[in-house]
Amino acid sequence: MSMPRKAKGMESVSWDAQGNWDARGNWGARDSGGREFYLDHWQARLDRLRESHHVPGATLAVLARGQVHEVASGVLHRGTGVDTTTDSVFQLGSLAKIYTATLVMQLVDEGRLDLDAPVKEVLPDFAVADAGATETITTRQLLSHTSGLTCDFTYDSGRGDDCLARYVEAAKDVGLDCPTGTAVSYSSLGYNVLGRIVEVLTGLTWDEALKKRLITPLGLAGTMTLPEEALSHRAAMGHLGELGQDPDPAPAWDPMPRSAGPYGRVLATAGDVVRLARMHLDGGLAEDGTRLLAEDSVRAMQRREVDVPDKWTVSADGWGLGWTLYDWEGTSGFGHDGASIGQYAFLRVVPEAGVVLVLLTNGGDARRLYEELFGELLRELAGVRMPEPFGPPAQPPAVDITPLTGTYKREGVLITVSEQGGKGHLVYEFVDGMKDFSPPLEMDLVPVAPNVFAGPGSGAYSADWMPVVFSTLADGTGCVYIGMRAAPKVG
């Protein structure tokens, strides 16, 4: 059954009698046990979990057994009370990186870009503060977050079509979080450089390239990049507040500059995000059979480029070319998370089951909603068991933190780890160009494993506990991961 505007489903691909997914090219996905999606049940679960976790509004889209199902719950704005519907658009945050990565791989397919050539071959003016990195950083490293470029370089370069060019120019003095190629360290700056590569090679702005090369061919009528485009749609408002309480509307709908597009500025319905992911699941084919990406490129994006020491912040086990990669007790998956001001997005794909899940939310304890809802969906539809939420065990292990004490530094951030009263203690402070960004954060560390500690959570992405993970760079230098960013030990 279907309920107009609140829940809907539509046919998308076919199955044979044995459960093999035809997928217009025999891509080889298989339904795990032929599990059905019961719309009324999942509508009720979304309603109940959304309310219990104080999430004002949410949309859920699911591809299961070749059919796309969409449900919606709550309100888009607690101040206006406008209902959330399946055609409502949300800010996707870092899910935008998947769109940019797909555009980049299209250029690889066309022979216009070499993943392993220095970025400077395409962008002669590209530079960062480290002269050696300027000459050697490659597109592959940008896609896999191994370039060493920092994440937190936010620069408003205006609303003009030259905003990305100006952004990349302004980044010339930005330092690295860690040496190029020595570790995975999440980088939004790197994805803006990728967006600029797209512009130079296509002769289009990033926004135009996205529309021409992905949005239009895939028929994504509910996907856009600019706020004025969202005005003709039902748009979600982000909400902020203490976890465990009903949040209030954020002070601004979207404070990000236009230059944030390639790393964080796509708006879409949950169903449209599923349709983009389904193209990857279908081996690069659009629903009408048009090839948008070569099968080799689809596989390359899902192939592990690097392991991820911090396996909890975004549930990552590894990273491919754009995709976050998961290992659910031997079942492989891919996806991505995203966040903007009070809005949180979650995308998970289980290739062997032909299942895609997308959850878009506008505040509250979105992380717990995701954990509970996706835990149930993945178990029921794909036979997959998600890991337990991060946190210390009831009886934390005894860990000597002394070898880990010291100072760690990445671009704009200084982290000091010490021992106080037999316990680990951490101070996280913004320095240099980011020194006025926020007051220092202090926390005691609770051991989880010899190199893994839990600190008090500070938002929807960390809930009760935030992972603090100690590791080493490829050159043997110690480092600490907080928020998927690597900070090398400096003292």
Distance of alpha carbon 334 from the chain centroid: 11
Cα–Cα distance measured from residue 336 to residue 371, given in angstroms and rounded to the nearest whole number: 14
- Roughly how many angstroms between the first and final C-alpha of the chain, as a whole number? 63
The kind and range of the H/E element at 344 are: strand 343-350
3-state secondary structure 189-212: HHHHHHHHHHHHHHCCCHHHHHHH
List the catalytic residue out of 94, 144, 147, 188.
Answer: 94
* Tokens at 339, concatenated: 């966040």
The kind and range of the H/E element at 169 are: helix 163-170
Question: How does DSSP classify residue 333?
Answer: E
Of residues 353, 483, 491, the one with CA closest to residue 428: 483
Please check whether residue 206 is in contact with residue 195, taking contact to mean a CB–CB distance below 8 angstroms.
Answer: yes
Please check whether residue 91 is in contact with residue 238, taking contact to mean a CB–CB distance below 8 angstroms.
Answer: yes
Residues sharing a CB contact under 8 Å with residue 30, sequence separation 6 or more, in sequence order? 19, 20, 21, 352, 353, 354
**Degrees, nearest 5: CA angle 434-439-442:** 115
**Degrees, nearest 5: CA angle 385-365-443:** 95
Please check whether residue 187 is in contact with residue 149, taking contact to mean a CB–CB distance below 8 angstroms.
Answer: yes
Decide: residue 402, CB within 10 A, 0-12 exposed, 13-18 middle, 19+ buried.
exposed
Cα–Cα distance measured from residue 61 to residue 360, given in angstroms and rounded to the nearest whole number: 9
Cα–Cα distance measured from residue 151 to residue 42, given in angstroms and rounded to the nearest whole number: 36
The kind and range of the H/E element at 97 are: helix 96-109
Instruction: Specify whether 315 is catalytic.
Output: no
Crossing angle of helices 163-170 and 188-202, in 10° steps, is 130
Catalytic residues: 94
